[in-house]
Chains A and B, each alone.
Chain A
Amino acid sequence: MAELLQLLTPEGERRHHREYDLEISAEELRRLYRDMELVRRLDMEAHALQRQGELGLWPPLLGQEAAQIGAGRALQPDDYAFPTYREHGVAWTRGVDPVSLLALFRGVTNGGYDPAAHNFALPTIVIGDQTLHAVGYAMGMQRDAGLGQPPGHAVISFFGDGASSQGDVNEAFVWASVNEAPVVFFCQNNQWAISQPLSRQTRIPLYRRAEGFGFPGLRVDGNDVLAVLAVTRRALDRARRGEGPSLVEAYTYRMGAHTTSDDPSRYRVEAELEQWRLKDPIERVRAYLLRTGAADRSFMEEVAQESAAFAEHLRQSCRAMTDPAPDAMFTHVYAEPHALVDEEQRWWAEYLGGENG
C-alpha cells in the first residue's frame, strides 16, 4: 500500500503534512460539509427517482463526495473541468443546476446545460474520451497566453480506475506531457470498474503511471475532502504557472452500484463495504466540525433542513419535466443548414401531422 496523503483521519482528527498542508477557515469547512451533504442528498433522491420510474438510469456517487467536492472547490471560475457521467458533485461546484443532471438521466436531453456557461463540459459516457478534450482545451489556454508563457488557467479532467486502461487516457498523458499542457488528471480510483476490481486494470498503483509519462503523480485519500482540496489546488497552481500536467489519484470507494442497473452482490462482498463505511467522507468532517467548535448542532440541523427542501425541489422538478417535442431530435444536428436533416424534419412533421389529423 502506497502512502496515502491524509489531512483528516476517518475519526475526524486533523493531520498535517509538511508539503501539502491547508489553511482553512471554519466558514470554508462548513461550506465543504454543506456541499457534501447536499450532493449526497441529490444522489439519494436521484436513486429513488430511478426506482420510481422517473429516471431511466442513475450512476451513484455515494462514497465519492469528498473526492468530487474537494477537486471541484479547488477550481477557479476560469478553469475548465471535463467530467465523466458520475461527477454530480463536481457539477454542483460548477453551478450546474442539479435538475439538468436529472434531465439527462430521465432521457429528455443528451446534455442539459451550456458547458461554456459553467466551464464544465458535458458528461462523457464513452470511457476516457474526455481526457483528450481536456488536453486540447489546455493547449488552447497555452496558445491564448502565448506559448512559453504561464497560461494562468488550468483544466481538470476526471476519469476512473477503469478508464486508466483506455488508449485515449494514455494518449492524453502523452500529449499533455510533451506539450507541458496545464491539465490535472484527476483519477477517482473507486476500486471497481462495474464488476472488475482494480487488479484487472493495473499491477502498480495508478498514480505511479505518471512517472512513466514524465509528470508527477500523487495518491491522496479520496475520502478526505481537505487532502483532496490541498493536493488538487497545488496541482492546478502548478499547471497555471506553466509547469505542466500532473496526476492525482483519489483513493476512494464506490459505495453504491455502478449504476441503478447493476447488482454488485454478484461480484463483491459486504465486508468490503463495511470497511469503507468506517471511512465515510462526510462523517469525519462532521466529527471535526463539532469537536473543534467550527460548527454546532444547529448548523447541522440547518443543513439537514436545507437538504430536505432541496430533495423536495428535485422530486417536484423531475416529475414536472415534460418530454421534448418530437422534432427536437433534428434541431441541433448541425450548426449550419443541412439539406437532408431539413428534408427529414419536414417529412416527420407531415407524418406526425397526418397521424394526429
Chain B
Amino acid sequence: MAESVTLAAALNRALRDCLADDDSVLVMGEDVGRLGGVFRVTDGLHADYGDARVIDTPLSESGIIGTAIGLAMRGYRPVCEIQFDGFVFPAFDQITTQLAKYHARSDGAIRLPVTIRIPYGGGIGAVEHHSESPEAYFAHTAGLRLVTCSQARDGYQMLREAIACDDPVIFFEPKRRYWDKAEIGAVAEGLFQSRVVRAGTDVTVICYGPTVRTCLEAAGLADEEDGISLEVIDLRTLSPLDLGPVFESVGRTGRAVVVHEAPVFLGLGAEIAARISQECFFSLEAPAIRVGAPHAPYPPSRLEHHYLPDVDRILDAVDTVRGI
C-alpha cells in the first residue's frame, strides 16, 4: 500500500522527481539549498543536485523572478520559492509586467515555463506578512496560471504538472496544511480541473487550498447534527477557473457558498459568485454568498481565528443561503 506522507514531503518528492527526470529543471529561492527551505520543502535537494540545479539565491525576490525569466529564456525550467506570501510583492513587477506578458509580446516565440511556489494563508500563529492570501492580485493578470492544492496527493501530482506546464504557474501551498498526511497516488483530474470532494444535495460549498479541510469539517458537522447535505468542491485551479462542476452542482442544489481566506472584497469569490449568478440564475434559490476575511489587514495572530473562515462561519453562511 502507498505510504502516508505530509504535504511538505509530497512536494519535496515532486521536486526531487522533476529534478531527476528533466535536466532543465532548477530549484531556486532564499534558503532552499543547505537549509532545505524554511518549511523544509526543498530538504536534501541541494545535497543531491548541487549549486548548478538548486540555487540558494541572494535575499532579493524581484531578483529571483527576474533571473528566472532569463534562465527560462535560455531553456531552463526554474522552480522559484517565495519564502512567504507577504514577500512576493517585491517581485510583483517582474511577475505581472514581464513573466506574464513575454509570451504574448513575442507572438508566442518565447515560452517562460517558470513555476513560483508560494506558501500562503494563515493559521500558524505567525508574525505580520506571513499569513496572507494574495491570489487575487495574480488572478487578475492574464498570462499567469494559478493553482493551489489542499492535500498531499494533489500536491505531488499538481506540482509535477505545474513544472511541466509551458506557461508561468503560481503554485500556492497552504502552509498550515503542510503537516497533513495523505497517500500519494494517481489523481484523476488534470492540473486545471476542479473536483467534487464530498457529494451532497442541499448546498454547494466552493473552496480551495487551506479552506478545503475546514469546509469538509463543516460538511461533516452539518450532516451529523442537522442532516444537511453539503456538496464540497475543491477548485484546485484559480486561473483558469474550472467552474463546470460548480455550475452542475449549483444547478442541483440551488444554493452556493464560496469560501476563501482572502478578503471577501474583490476576492476570487466575487468572480465565482458573479459567474454562478450568470450561469445558474434560474436554478438559484438564494444569492451565492461569500465567506472570507474582512477588508482589514491580516491581524495580529491572536486574532487570526476571528479573521479566518472557520466551521461556524461556514455553517452560518449555509444557514443564510437556506433562508434560516
Interface residues of A (CB under 8 A from B): 82, 109-111, 114-117, 121-122, 124, 126, 129, 131-141, 143-144, 146-147, 155, 167-168, 171-172, 174-175, 178, 331-336, 338-341
Contact = CB atoms under 8 A, between A and B. Distances in A.
Interface string B61-91: 0110111111111111000000000000010
Q: Is the interface of A mostly helix, strand, loop or mixed?
A: helix
B93 A129 contact: yes
Given A122-B102, A171-B63, A335-B167, A111 B107 contact: yes
Nearest to A112: B107
Contact of B66 (A136, A147, A338, A339): A136
B107 A140 contact: no
B240 A339 contact: yes
A338 B240 contact: yes
A335 B166 contact: yes
Interface residues of B, number: 47
A111 B106 contact: yes
A117 B143 CA distance: 23
B109 interface: yes
Query: Which of B75, B76, B106 gathers the greatest number of chain A CB atoms within 10 Å?
Result: B106
A335 B63 contact: no
Contacts of A338: 145, 167, 240
Given A138-B70, A175-B63, A340 B241 contact: yes
A33 B73 CA distance: 33
B31 to A, nearest CB: 15
A168 B58 CA distance: 13
Contacts of B107: 109, 111, 114, 331-332
Contacts of B105: 110-111, 122
Nearest to A157: B70
B103 A333 contact: yes
> Which of A144, A167, A175 has the most CB atoms of chain B within a 10 A radius of its CB?
A175
B63 A172 contact: yes
Contacts, number: 146
Contacts of B104: 110, 331-333
A146 B50 CA distance: 12
Nearest to A82: B70
Contact of A335 (B57, B76, B108, B240): B108
A332 B108 contact: yes
Given A174-B58, A174-B60, A336 B102 contact: no
A136 B68 contact: yes
A122 B103 CA distance: 11
Nearest to B69: A133
A131 B107 CA distance: 22
Interface of B: 26, 51-52, 57-58, 60, 62-63, 65-76, 90, 93-94, 97-98, 101-111, 142-143, 145, 165-167, 192, 239-242
Contact of A334 (B65, B167, B242): B167
B67 A129 contact: no
A288 B94 CA distance: 45
17 contacts: A111-B105, A111-B109, A115-B109, A117-B109, A124-B98, A131-B66, A136-B71, A136-B73, A139-B70, A146-B52, A147-B51, A171-B58, A178-B58, A332-B104, A332-B107, A336-B166, A339-B242
A137 B70 contact: yes
A334 B66 contact: no
A327 B223 CA distance: 49
Contact of A333 (B69, B142, B192): B142
Given A111-B105, A140-B76, A333-B143, A147 B240 contact: no
Contacts of A139: 67, 70-71
A335 B106 contact: no
Contacts of A117: 109
Contacts of A126: 93, 97-98
A129 B76 CA distance: 19
A122 B101 CA distance: 11
A334 B70 contact: no
A334 B110 CA distance: 11
A114 B62 contact: no
Contacts of B242: 339
A141 B74 contact: yes
Given A110-B101, A133-B69, A137-B70, A116 B63 contact: no
B165 A132 contact: no
Contacts of B51: 147
Nearest to A147: B52
Contact of B70 (A114, A135, A167): A135
A114 B103 CA distance: 11
A116 B110 contact: yes
A134 B93 contact: no
Given A144-B74, A175-B58, 17 more contacts: A82-B70, A110-B105, A114-B106, A115-B109, A126-B93, A129-B66, A129-B97, A132-B69, A133-B66, A134-B70, A136-B67, A137-B71, A140-B76, A168-B94, A332-B108, A335-B108, A339-B192
Nearest to B61: A171
The winner among A111, A141, A144, A174 for most chain B CB atoms within 10 A is A111
A336 B167 contact: yes
Contacts of A174: 58, 60, 63
A137 B66 contact: no
A334 B73 contact: no
A289 to B, nearest CB: 39
Contacts of B72: 136
A132 B63 contact: yes
Contacts of A339: 192, 240-242
A325 to B, nearest CB: 13
A122 B109 CA distance: 11
A173 to B, nearest CB: 10
A215 to B, nearest CB: 15
Contacts of A155: 70
